[in-house]
A and B are shown apart, each in its own frame.
Chain A
Amino acid sequence: MKRKNLRFYFRIYRKILAQDLKSKMSYRADFIISTIGMICTNIAGFISFWILFRSFPEVNGWSYHEILFLYGFSLVSLTPVQCFFDNNWSLRMYVYSGDFIKYCFRPINLFFYYQSEVFDVKGLGQFAFGIGTIIYSWSKIGLPLTFLMVIKMIIFLITASLIMIAVMNAAAATCFWITNSFYVMDLALKFKDYARYPITIFSPVFRFIFTFVMPIAFIAYYPSLVILRPDEIPLLSWLSPLFGCLFFWLSYKFWMYGAMKYSGTGS
């Protein structure tokens, strides 16, 4: 048996993805309706934003376009969790029915195998929205467009994505203990809405929570400081890629620990 390296997993994922997309086409109505839903959600988000900023031209030293930048940033960084880790939402069903055990019999990584099963195309619409918002606010703020800036942007978008993935993994994995993780996941998803605002508007207690307990400040705020406020970048911003990897790794370990513990007692 050959060793299973990253290339092996990448190839498997590509194949599963291609198959999944093929089969998605067979549910056309579902695809169209959910895409429309996604667009409506985003438009509603924009409108509430716009209304808010008609009354307050700036929030705590942040201008309308800067906050818009944060918003776009958070949309893009939420795309990977939406696209690649959407099966987390079904985890509780598999655990409840006992069907989860079927994932334990394959000679590949359990976490990978489980997540690879679903690719959510809807995330791509959100991605396009987010990119559009970033480009618009970028030009309005008058940020310079250099190679270095783009690289920074990409690195910090990946960081932010990792954090969001970590939060959802951990929230989903709670179902290995409490069976119904929907409310935990829903809570986590609600919290992510706060990620759109500069963390300085919250009280110190919440600032601490959003940084270390529920690290949503890393989803948009800390990473985008690097772009928006190049003169006053806090240490936490530079550390955020590290935190991204760390949180992701921890959530993976937590997920796997739960999975092994669960299959120990389930059905």
Chain B
Amino acid sequence: MSGIIEIKNISKEFKVLNRREGLKGSIRDLFSRDYKIVKAVDNISMSIPQGEIVGYLGPNGAGKSTTIKMMTGVLEPTSGEILVNGNIPYKDRTKNAQEIGVVFGQRSQLWWALPLIESFRLLKDIYQIPDDNYNSMISLYKSLVDIEDLLHKPVRQMSLGQRTLSDILAAFLHNPKIVFLDEPTIGLDVSMKSKIRTLIHALNKEKNTTVILTTHDMGDVDALCQRIVIIDKGKMLYDNDIEHLKGFFGSYRTLKVRPAGDIGKQAEELEKELKNLSVSITADDEWISILVNEEKSKVMEVLGTIQKTHDIRDMKLEEISTEEVIKKIYEEGVE
């Protein structure tokens, strides 16, 4: 079965001026024709079926936004083919736009001065949404989130969280086949994040909307995505189930310890003490997390080493988290 999004071997190249240093260099740049070609996206293929939520991940500058711009028809690929809902996005930009919704994390697409409900009414006209569909969508929204207060508030007076929520609702309003969410939870507090995840999940279930989600928050991925696609430096690193990915790192365990005293300082000490056990250490407010590869050194051995010099108040052992998996892939790639 062919997917709603079919991408075959697309690449996107940008011409970038080679900048020279200093004032002299800048002046010479004015007349320079010295360009280099940068491949933002390099030979990527994927097929996404209707109704799937795909986590599209990669470090900053990996080419995520460029791919999304190509799928939405804003950018034309240098080579390769894209079909979105049967359209070539770049050639049929407006036709394609009718069937997609887009949310860019911090850039509201709503009318700044208008109350949300007025924005919705304008969108209803722009997308030519029939009355029945519009009304049932609004009542669906009302059943999912508490928007009564929001509806009559101008967008400019909203908090970032409310605005993001509104933007997501606006993107789903015309019941598009695909919605692109670019870092929808960026800068939001924990409760708002979870509210937005629940909303996206519910809308996907209710309307069978395909969702392409880019994010740096692995909480989003854990809550929403079955499948993840990872790219870095324009190349595809991984495209499969998230569980399958964790299988690659089956021998990894996360040992979490809570020592007595200052966590940050002790984490630094541990870093030195555990050097020859090839572990990686991160610390947050409560826990020092030690990622152990059991093929190289045993968890018990690590714990024993720590206990010799530190007073441990509490500890727990966990499977590798999505966050750590992704971090390892960014750093080392998939073998």
Contacts of A102 in B (CB 8 A): 104, 107-109
User: Which single member of B93, B114, B128 contacts A23 (CB below 8 Å)?
Assistant: B114
User: Which single member of A8, A24, A99, A107 contacts B97 (CB below 8 Å)?
Assistant: A107
**CB-nearest residue of chain B to A14:** B125
Is A108's CB under 8 angstroms from B94's CB?
yes
User: Which single member of B95, B107, B122, B154 contacts A16 (CB below 8 Å)?
Assistant: B122
B72 at the interface (CB under 8 A from A): yes
In the assembled complex, the Cα of A264 lies from the Cα of B66 at a distance in Å of 9
User: Which single member of A8, A99, A263 contacts B69 (CB below 8 Å)?
Assistant: A263
Within 8 A of B (CB), among A67-110: 98-99, 101-102, 104-109
A15 at the interface (CB under 8 A from B): yes
User: Which single member of A15, A108, A263 contacts B121 (CB below 8 Å)?
Assistant: A15
Contacts of A20 in B (CB 8 A): 113
User: Which single member of B75, B93, B98, B126 contacts A12 (CB below 8 Å)?
Assistant: B126
- How many chain B residues touch the partner (CB < 8 A)? 30
In the assembled complex, the Cα of A109 lies from the Cα of B126 at a distance in Å of 11
Is B95's CB under 8 angstroms from A105's CB?
no
Whole-angstrom distance between the Cβ of A32 and the nearest chain B Cβ: 17
Within 8 A of A (CB), among B63-122: 65, 69, 72-76, 93-95, 97-98, 100, 102, 104, 107-109, 111, 113-114, 118, 121-122
User: Which single member of B94, B102, B125 contacts A15 (CB below 8 Å)?
Assistant: B125
Is B102's CB under 8 angstroms from A23's CB?
no
Whole-angstrom distance between the Cβ of B38 and the nearest chain A Cβ: 11
Is B128's CB under 8 angstroms from A2's CB?
yes
Is A1's CB under 8 angstroms from B98's CB?
yes
User: Which single member of B75, B104, B107, B114 contacts A19 (CB below 8 Å)?
Assistant: B114
Known: A23-B154, A102-B104, A107-B97. A263 touches B75 (CB 8 A): yes
**Helix, strand, loop or mixed for chain A's interface?**
helix
Contacts of B248 in A (CB 8 A): none
Whole-angstrom distance between the Cβ of A126 and the nearest chain B Cβ: 23
B35 at the interface (CB under 8 A from A): no
Known: A263-B69, A263-B75. A108 touches B113 (CB 8 A): no
**CB-nearest residue of chain A to B154:** A23
Contacts of B114 in A (CB 8 A): 19, 22-23
Is B14's CB under 8 angstroms from A265's CB?
yes
Whole-angstrom distance between the Cβ of A170 and the nearest chain B Cβ: 23
Within 8 A of A (CB), among B117-149: 118, 121-122, 125-128
In the assembled complex, the Cα of A267 lies from the Cα of B118 at a distance in Å of 30
Within 8 A of B (CB), among A222-267: 263-265, 267
A26 at the interface (CB under 8 A from B): yes
Contacts of B100 in A (CB 8 A): 105
Contacts of B125 in A (CB 8 A): 11-12, 15
User: Which single member of B75, B97, B98 contacts A264 (CB below 8 Å)?
Assistant: B75
Contact mask for chain B residues 49-75; partner A; CB cutoff 8 A; 1 contact, 0 none:
000000000000000010001001111
Is A101's CB under 8 angstroms from B104's CB?
yes
Whole-angstrom distance between the Cβ of A10 and the nearest chain B Cβ: 11
Interface-central residue, B102, B108, B126, by most chain A CB under 10 Å: B126
Contacts of A105 in B (CB 8 A): 72, 74, 97, 100, 102, 109
Within 8 A of B (CB), among A135-168: none
User: Which single member of B14, B122, B127, B154 contacts A107 (CB below 8 Å)?
Assistant: B127
Is A106's CB under 8 angstroms from B97's CB?
yes
**CB-nearest residue of chain A to B102:** A105
In the assembled complex, the Cα of A267 lies from the Cα of B100 at a distance in Å of 21
In the assembled complex, the Cα of A65 lies from the Cα of B109 at a distance in Å of 49
Contacts of B69 in A (CB 8 A): 101, 263
Is A19's CB under 8 angstroms from B122's CB?
yes
In the assembled complex, the Cα of A121 lies from the Cα of B58 at a distance in Å of 47
In the assembled complex, the Cα of A16 lies from the Cα of B118 at a distance in Å of 9
In the assembled complex, the Cα of A8 lies from the Cα of B97 at a distance in Å of 17
Whole-angstrom distance between the Cβ of A119 and the nearest chain B Cβ: 12
Contacts of A2 in B (CB 8 A): 128
Contacts of A106 in B (CB 8 A): 94, 97, 126
Contacts of B73 in A (CB 8 A): 104
Contacts of A23 in B (CB 8 A): 111, 113-114, 154
Binding site for A on B (CB under 8 A): 14, 65, 69, 72-76, 93-95, 97-98, 100, 102, 104, 107-109, 111, 113-114, 118, 121-122, 125-128, 154
Q: A107-B98, A263-B75 are in contact. List 14 more A-B contacts (CB 8 A).
A: A1-B95, A16-B122, A22-B118, A23-B113, A101-B104, A104-B74, A105-B74, A105-B97, A105-B102, A106-B97, A107-B95, A108-B94, A117-B111, A267-B65
Ordered by A's residue number, 12 sampled pairs between the chains whose C-beta atoms are within 8 Å are A1-B95, A2-B128, A11-B125, A19-B122, A20-B113, A102-B104, A105-B74, A105-B97, A105-B100, A105-B102, A108-B94, A264-B76
Binding site for B on A (CB under 8 A): 1-2, 8, 11-12, 15-16, 19-20, 22-24, 26, 98-99, 101-102, 104-109, 117, 263-265, 267
